[in-house]
Amino acid sequence: MIRKSPTKKRTSKSSKNTNICNPETPITAHGLRDGSFGSLVRNKLSNPLISPHTTPRYAHDWDLEKDRSPSMDSTIYTPLSATTSISNSDDSESSSLRGESPGLHQRGSRTSSSRYNGSISVSVRIKPSYAGCSSWQLSDDKKTLKHGDAGEFSFDNVFDTQDDNHEIYETIGRPIVDKLFEGFNATIFAYGMTGSGKTFTMSGVDSNPGLIALSVEEIFARISCESGVDKEYEVKVSYLQIYNEKVYDLLELSHGPQTSHEGSPRVEVQLREDSNHGITVVGLNELKVSSSEEMLRVISAGDVHRRTGETDFNSKSSRSHAVVSIVVECSQRGNGYKKTSTLSLCDLAGSEKAAGQQDRRKEGAFINKSLLALGNVISKLGTNAESGKTSSTTHVPYRNSKLTRFLQPTLNGESIVTTICTIDSRPDALAETINTLRFALRAKNVAITAKKNETFSHANDKALIQKLNRQIEEQNQLIARLQSGQRATELEETAESGRPKVAGRTETVVSPSLAKSIELLHRRPEFYQHFMDNEYTELRDQELLEIADFLPAAVGSVFKQKMRALEARLNGQVQYIQQLELRSVRLETKLQRLHQTSMSFQDRTGDEDVIRRQEQELLLLRKSVARKDKMLEALRSAKRLRDSALRPECMAMQDN
Ligand SMILES: Nc1ncnc2c1ncn2[C@@H]1O[C@H](COP(=O)(O)OP(=O)(O)OP(=O)(O)O)[C@@H](O)[C@H]1O
């Protein structure tokens, strides 16, 4: 049975959100103050913060490098306007009216069953915060975030502080797992500043499992429901981290989790690109797993080795980008159908300000550099989609970081992508929050054209064809054996009927008409017998009938009987001879044709043999016809003798 996670209906909340500074605000199960963000602030359509020509008021690490910062780069920044928000929300609304999942951003009109056309689906999750008042406000439909200074931002979904991981899974995780089972590659990635809740969303905690655990449970629940006699599933998992621009396998088995100390990067693996397979990770362990428990054990063993450290915003910050890849392979027995799709669950490292510690600073520089590269790629892909260009015709800077190189196939349209951008509502994180929201807006523009990974293997067809061919071959041999047996019998019979016996001859090359003639000759005795036995046919000769009438009754009837038999035999002989003559003519014509053919194929001794045999057959037939002629002549003379014996003078003499 498919496990149904408890579905909490996404309810609209009032736009008049509770100020989290309010001591009346209830505390959630996680010990956090519940409720949405701060006081309603006037909506400003023209916003100084988001103008490409204006310097942001908030200090940000990236702001120091304005030229490189995604937020400040005027070539990649898309100014936000009321129109953008409205058109985006209209888009989402129309997709929900079409019955599409709110978790995916699919363009229904261009979508066929084996293709998915859409764009990256983008959701934002707000982390509850104690630190100061927030001025963020969420719209009733939970799609638009407003900030007094930053303006208005619309997305496919905005999850507020009350939404737990189950709620998020139901809205964005389950539709992605649906697509996975249809055969599409699918990706969920979490993006946001350090401490904003990416790992909390992806991995969760014991009391509130994250998208990884919930997806894994769903995958195995479906497999147990769908597996059967005709369908079989295989599931594999791999887990890697990108730390300081190096890729490490988190499932390397050479050291058990107990022996390796927490946070140490495992075995380094390499990204490789080739024309056949695209980007691959050489040497990455892919473990076959057969249950959700087993897979979650494997993943948590990998978690232990993920690089973590302390940042200003997170005491246990993930210092690497981590990707869990789950490969689901479904094969149908009998027809060679196979579907292989991959679910990639990425928990990116968080962007941050420059840290005090040297190690943290180095890590932070790598993290920021790779996130900047990701932002640039997303921006370029978004611009391409808007202008109708493809990444094959324009340069997309995938090579600027290991993260973008690794995500290249995903972002290049081989996967359906959902991103969850986490933000921290505290005021001192506003600059980072705005950067995250800008990234999220750009991601919304990235077009996806994914196709199902389905194949039909012809291995089974080949086996079937081979089997059928073997059967045909066996049957051919059987027919040849039966034919040669029949020929041998015929030849035996021919020999018995006075023709020379040909010992051990198994040739079967006899023309059908010749075979028929031979058969007729073989049946000759029965043929004669038939006419000889036919004594009850009517006597047709009028003269004989009249003579019989003159004879005494007893003699007359014997006479009639004898005459009838003689007449019948005579007629039979005549008919038979006519048939033989006809066949003889036909055979002669055929023989002539064969002679002509043999002239042109003299080296083919097989044909000469056939001609020789047919000539022999013809000779026999001619002899037979001659015998028949003699027999006919004898019968005619017998008739003449009888006729003369029946003349009146002879009769009178007899009477005397
Ligand atoms: N929505 C939430 N509800 C309750 N607690 C949360 C939420 N989001 C995050 N937290 C808590 O905030 C802390 C930091 O979260 P988390 O580690 O998930 O952040 P992160 O974005 O992964 O940070 P980093 O990039 O530094 O790894 C954790 O203690 C986590 O439990």
pLDDT at residue 30, rounded to an integer = 33
CB 567 within 8 A of CB 541: yes
> Each residue of 4-39: pLDDT tens digit?
334 344 443 333 332 333 323 333 333 333 333 322
pLDDT at residue 53, rounded to an integer = 29
**Looking at residues 405-433, what average pLDDT do you find?**
89
Range with the largest mean pLDDT of 458-472, 617-631, 642-656 = 617-631
DSSP string of 255-280? S-TTTSPTT---EEEEEEEETTTEEE
For ligand 1, the distance from its centroid to the CA atom of residue 154, given in whole angstroms, is: 23
Three-state secondary structure along 281-342?
EECCCCEEECCHHHHHHHHHHHHHCCCEECCCCCCCEECCEEEEEEEEEEEECCCCEEEEEE
Is 192 annotated among the ligand-binding residues?
yes
Q: How far is CA 215 from the centre of its chain?
A: 23
Q: How far is CA 220 from the centre of its chain?
A: 21
**Looking at residues 218-223, what average pLDDT do you find?**
96
CB 85 within 8 A of CB 444: no
Which of 296-310, 455-469, 535-549, 601-615 is predicted with the least confidence, judged by mean pLDDT?
601-615
Residues with Cβ within 8 Å of 139's Cβ and at least 6 positions away in sequence, in order, are: 15, 145, 146, 158
pLDDT band, residue 275 (cuts 50/70/90): confident
Q: Does residue 246 have a pLDDT over 80? A: yes
User: Could you tell me how many helices (H) and strands (E) the chain has, helices first?
Assistant: 16, 22
> Each residue of 89-142: pLDDT tens digit?
333 333 333 334 556 666 543 445 788 888 899 999 999 876 556 678 889 899
Range with the largest mean pLDDT of 30-44, 86-100, 492-506 = 492-506
Residue with the smallest CA separation from ligand 1 atom 2 is 127
Residues with Cβ within 8 Å of 301's Cβ and at least 6 positions away in sequence, in order, are: 251, 257
As given in the structure block, the two tokens for residue 438 are 């800008």
pLDDT at residue 133, rounded to an integer = 60
pLDDT band, residue 491 (cuts 50/70/90): low
* 137 φ/ψ angles, rounded to the nearest 5 degrees: -135, 140
DSSP string of 201-266? HHTEETTEE-HHHHHHHHHHHHHHHH-BTTEEEEEEEEEEEEETTEEEETT-TTS-TTTSPTT---
pLDDT band, residue 459 (cuts 50/70/90): low
pLDDT at residue 342, rounded to an integer = 94
For ligand 1, the distance from its centroid to the CA atom of residue 351, given in whole angstroms, is: 13
Distance, CA of 644 to CA of 638 (rounded, Å):
10
As given in the structure block, the two tokens for residue 200 are 């909390």
For ligand 1, the distance from its centroid to the CA atom of residue 356, given in whole angstroms, is: 21
Range with the largest mean pLDDT of 252-261, 429-438, 504-513 = 429-438
Q: Does residue 216 have a pLDDT over 80? A: yes
Pocket test of ligand 1: the residue of 193, 199, 212, 312 to mutate, having most ligand atoms within 8 Å of its CB, is: 199
CB 64 within 8 A of CB 72: no
Is 132 annotated among the ligand-binding residues?
no
Residues with Cβ within 8 Å of 440's Cβ and at least 6 positions away in sequence, in order, are: 122, 124, 153, 155, 191, 419, 421
Tokens 């909340």, residue located: 13
Q: Does residue 81 have a pLDDT over 70? A: no
Distance, CA of 108 to CA of 100 (rounded, Å):
8
Q: Which among 495, 456, 654 has a CA at the least distance from the CA of 559?
A: 654
pLDDT at residue 535, rounded to an integer = 45
pLDDT at residue 223, rounded to an integer = 95
Higher pLDDT, 175 or 447: 175
> Each residue of 508-526: pLDDT tens digit?
455 565 666 666 666 655 5
Is 631 annotated among the ligand-binding residues?
no
Tell me the C-alpha to C-alpha distance, in Å, between residue 130 and each of 18, 33, 59, 367, 517: 13, 7, 21, 26, 112
Ligand 1 neighbours by CB, cut-off 6 Å? 30, 32, 127-128, 192, 194-200, 311, 314, 317-318, 349-350, 422
Distance, CA of 575 to CA of 380 (rounded, Å):
98
Higher pLDDT, 472 or 91: 472
For ligand 1, the distance from its centroid to the CA atom of residue 193, given in whole angstroms, is: 10
Element (H, E) at 92: helix 82-97
Is 418 annotated among the ligand-binding residues?
no
Residue 428 gets which letter from DSSP? G
pLDDT at residue 414, rounded to an integer = 82
> Each residue of 611-645: pLDDT tens digit?
677 777 777 777 777 777 787 788 888 778 877 77
pLDDT band, residue 47 (cuts 50/70/90): very low
pLDDT at residue 258, rounded to an integer = 41
Q: Which among 123, 329, 153 has a CA at the least distance from the CA of 232?
A: 329
Residues with Cβ within 8 Å of 222's Cβ and at least 6 positions away in sequence, in order, are: 2, 177, 181
For ligand 1, the distance from its centroid to the CA atom of residue 313, given in whole angstroms, is: 9
Tokens 């611009």, residue located: 383
Q: Considering the domain 48-108+118-351+360-387+395-456, what is its CATH architecture?
A: 3-Layer(aba) Sandwich (3.40)
Burial category of 138 from C-beta neighbours within 10 Å (exposed 0-12, middle 13-18, buried 19 and up)? buried
Distance, CA of 117 to CA of 360 (rounded, Å):
41
291-325 b/e (C-beta count within 10 Å ≥ 16 → b): ebebbbebbebbbebbbbbebebbeebbbbbbbbb
pLDDT at residue 507, rounded to an integer = 46
Q: Which among 157, 127, 135 has a CA at the least distance from the CA of 58?
A: 135
Q: Which among 435, 445, 444 has a CA at the least distance from the CA of 150?
A: 435
Residue 81 gets which letter from DSSP? -
Residues with Cβ within 8 Å of 388's Cβ and at least 6 positions away in sequence, in order, are: none
Biggest alpha carbon distance in the chain?
163
Q: Which among 338, 375, 498, 330 has a CA at the least distance from the CA of 73?
A: 375
Pocket test of ligand 1: the residue of 158, 159, 314 to mutate, having most ligand atoms within 8 Å of its CB, is: 314
Pocket test of ligand 1: the residue of 200, 212, 348, 421 to mutate, having most ligand atoms within 8 Å of its CB, is: 200
3-state secondary structure of 388: coil
ipTM of the complex: 0.98
Q: How far is CA 374 from the centre of its chain?
A: 32
Atom number of ligand 1 nearest to Cα 190? 21
100-119 b/e (C-beta count within 10 Å ≥ 16 → b): bbbbbbbbeeeeeeeebbbb
* 66 φ/ψ angles, rounded to the nearest 5 degrees: -50, -40
Domain boundaries, given as residue ranges, for the chain: 48-108+118-351+360-387+395-456, 509-655
Higher pLDDT, 382 or 293: 293
Is 597 annotated among the ligand-binding residues?
no
Atom number of ligand 1 nearest to Cα 196? 21
CB 243 within 8 A of CB 265: yes
For ligand 1, the distance from its centroid to the CA atom of residue 37, given in whole angstroms, is: 17
Burial category of 75 from C-beta neighbours within 10 Å (exposed 0-12, middle 13-18, buried 19 and up)? exposed
pLDDT at residue 185, rounded to an integer = 93
> Each residue of 342-385: pLDDT tens digit?
999 999 998 776 555 666 677 788 888 999 999 999 988 888 87
